[in-house]
Chain A
């Protein structure tokens, strides 16, 4: 049984189509990154999976219908819907007591153990903590819940580099055990590239790209082409071309272009693209009619920002 299985999943808000009949299958033990521009439908997908929004189409999460069986589902699903949404008035000790009181699979000792590694005191109120500490506190709770599915929606937005790194390190080192399934959305894609097992791009309510990270590594290549060989390189049908410091960088889908790494190595320096590079390439081809650079600027301001950082 797949952890998440969707067929023809649709969600319409008034006249806006947020999800345009998507199909989705996520097996147990995967870490899926859901990437897309703002307003692409990422949060809608997550809300539907979490039973926060009704939907059209077929959807099963851990074998249940999330909308009608939400209360039972939440015993096996954890989520972080946003950074720092813990109630500001609550004390750390009260929060731990409450979660221990209502959650059947919360291990309070584990959460307290995690907290001792941070500077968070039990007597503190959430409003007295920094944003990074609130994220750590939330993570401590999430990690102490024995859930089958964890959904993270921009879990590190606005946190500094150190906290972001710690967040994913803890998640991967202490939490993920190969049996759990994690779905994550973020604009800081470069930070999750190493932890994902699967990648999915979503645009205007459609899934426009999906592949496993194993496949990603050997299927896509980026070549910094020697100026003399640019015509030869373009003839090999790259997906996307961009200019960096006067050099052309061409991104190839080696499978559909029918080329291999050796051929590309003859044209210039070859490397595996980042998720951000591929995202720009895929989105560029989505918005045909615009030049590649325009498309990039139009659909991806936040992603570019993420790359620059």
Chain B
């Protein structure tokens, strides 16, 4: 009897969706090496540049210690916030480029026909790309920020110790735990949750446009702003966009002004945004299904 063999050939063993997702994400990282190389090289440049600051650091710290505590904290923690800000900016630029290119590039170089010859659904492919944008890239940005800050911190402490200055006072003013909290809060609220609809909009345009995705991503919103201004003399859409770009309520990084995470989570704008993000992704998956190479 060959029942076993024939039933095995009728129902081929399927690969679990989680594996397909995992390999699709790995594929994205193979293609877009800038996802980790860009933030990492910014980190390296910061460490190099910090070498120059390091020479004058004992002087800066000893003069900072004479200021009031508020100013002390500011003077000492400022370089670390610059580190976080620069790496975040690099990650944002990479995200923007990636979101706009990912579904457009594969159609332009016709490789989409090869991807479609494998048993990975369009939804899985699109979700993998969204995972890269909303989870992998922010995680990489956090890790590289922490590594860079750790290097800058150890160099600073070694320099201060060599000059006989108090590391304890420096450490106390730096408040590293609070700094890290601020970083994680900012990434989660602004870069992931608040920006999600922006990234997903870029992916939708990437899946849709036949040429010049950058123009298609930027011109329609701009046209709406202009139309509204000319026709109704109002700027609701412009305000809406500004609010979205500035990071909304999540942008308050300072611990005193920061909205508690629970309050942020019940902001209606957050949930509308996430609904739009989901809709954009589904539409992108449908477009990928229907569209061939360009």
Within 8 A of A (CB), among B96-133: 106, 109-111, 113-114, 116-121
Query: Which one of A53, A90, A104, A148 contacts B31 once the chains associate, using CB atoms below 8 Å?
Result: A90
The answer, yes or no, to whether B233 is at the interface (CB within 8 Å) is no
Residue ID in chain B nearest A81 by CB atoms: B113
**Once the chains bind, are B119 and A90 in contact (CB under 8 Å)?**
no
A53 to chain B, nearest CB (A): 8
Per-residue 0/1 for A72-106: is the Cβ within 8 Å of any B Cβ (1 yes, 0 no)? 10111011111001111111001000110111110
The answer, yes or no, to whether B262 is at the interface (CB within 8 Å) is no
Residues of A within 8 A of B19 (CB): 101-102
Residues of B within 8 A of A89 (CB): 30-31
**Once the chains bind, are B23 and A79 in contact (CB under 8 Å)?**
no
A41 to chain B, nearest CB (A): 15
Per-residue 0/1 for B196-233: is the Cβ within 8 Å of any A Cβ (1 yes, 0 no)? 00000000000000000000000000000000000000
A131 to chain B, nearest CB (A): 14
A94 to chain B, nearest CB (A): 5
With A and B bound together, what is the CA distance between A57 and B99 in angstroms? 37
**Once the chains bind, are A74 and B119 in contact (CB under 8 Å)?**
yes
A106 to chain B, nearest CB (A): 9
Residue ID in chain A nearest B106 by CB atoms: A87
**Once the chains bind, are B119 and A99 in contact (CB under 8 Å)?**
no
The answer, yes or no, to whether A71 is at the interface (CB within 8 Å) is yes
The answer, yes or no, to whether B69 is at the interface (CB within 8 Å) is no
**Once the chains bind, are B119 and A101 in contact (CB under 8 Å)?**
no
Within 8 A of A (CB), among B20-60: 20, 22-24, 26-27, 30-31
The answer, yes or no, to whether A109 is at the interface (CB within 8 Å) is no
The answer, yes or no, to whether A52 is at the interface (CB within 8 Å) is yes
Residues of A within 8 A of B22 (CB): 101
Listed stretches B7-15, B82-90, B162-170; interface member: B7-15
The answer, yes or no, to whether B292 is at the interface (CB within 8 Å) is yes
Query: Which one of A54, A70, A76, A87 contacts B114 once the chains associate, using CB atoms below 8 Å?
Result: A87
Per-residue 0/1 for A176-212: is the Cβ within 8 Å of any B Cβ (1 yes, 0 no)? 0000000000000000000000000000000000000
**Once the chains bind, are B121 and A71 in contact (CB under 8 Å)?**
yes
B8 to chain A, nearest CB (A): 11
With A and B bound together, what is the CA distance between A193 and B203 in angstroms? 46
**Once the chains bind, are B12 and A75 in contact (CB under 8 Å)?**
yes
Centre residue among A52, A76, A86 by max chain B CB count within 10 A: A52
A275 to chain B, nearest CB (A): 26
**Once the chains bind, are B292 and A75 in contact (CB under 8 Å)?**
no
**Once the chains bind, are A104 and B119 in contact (CB under 8 Å)?**
yes
Residues of A within 8 A of B13 (CB): 104-105
**Once the chains bind, are A75 and B23 in contact (CB under 8 Å)?**
no
Query: Which one of A54, A72, A76, A99 contacts B118 once the chains associate, using CB atoms below 8 Å?
Result: A99
Residues of B within 8 A of A99 (CB): 118
Query: Which one of B24, B106, B110, B119 contacts A75 once the chains associate, using CB atoms below 8 Å?
Result: B119
Residue ID in chain B nearest A67 by CB atoms: B289
**Once the chains bind, are B27 and A98 in contact (CB under 8 Å)?**
yes
Residues of B within 8 A of A53 (CB): 292
**Once the chains bind, are B111 and A87 in contact (CB under 8 Å)?**
yes
B24 to chain A, nearest CB (A): 7
Instruction: Assess A105 versus B114: contact at CB under 8 Å? Given A88-B109, A98-B23.
Output: no
Instruction: Assess A85 versus B20: contact at CB under 8 Å? Given A75-B12, A103-B118, A104-B119.
Output: no
14 A–B contacts from the bound complex (CB under 8 Å): A47-B292, A52-B116, A71-B121, A74-B117, A74-B118, A81-B113, A86-B111, A87-B106, A87-B114, A94-B30, A101-B23, A101-B26, A103-B119, A104-B12
The 9 closest A-B pairs by CB, nearest first: A101-B23, A87-B111, A74-B119, A81-B113, A71-B121, A75-B119, A85-B110, A75-B12, A79-B117
